[in-house]
């Protein structure tokens, strides 16, 4: 988890998987990024539950 600026946290998730197609095995990597904001770009705090 990284915090590139105040009020924003970014996390990366990497998933590796294999698939067989026409007798050949292919390896893939899926990368997903999720961002959580607690402050908008004007500096206003967002409501927290």
Which is more confidently placed, 6 or 31?
31
- The yes-or-no verdict on residue 49 having pLDDT over 80 is no
2-11 long-range contacts (CB < 8 A, ≥24 apart) are 6/39, 7/37, 7/38, 7/39, 7/40, 7/45, 8/35, 8/36, 8/37, 8/38, 8/39, 9/35, 9/36, 9/38, 10/34, 10/35, 10/36, 11/36
- pTM higher than 0.75 for the full model? no
pLDDT at 17: 96
pLDDT at 25: 97
pLDDT by residue (tens digit) across 7-46? 889 999 999 999 999 999 999 999 999 999 888 888 888 8
């Amino acid at each position: 988890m990284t915090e590139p600026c105040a009020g924003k946290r970014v996390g990366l998730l990497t998933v590796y998987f294999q698939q067989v197609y026409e007798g050949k095995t292919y390896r893939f990597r899926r990368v997903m990024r999720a961002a959580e904001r607690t402050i908008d770009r004007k500096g206003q705090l967002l409501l927290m539950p």
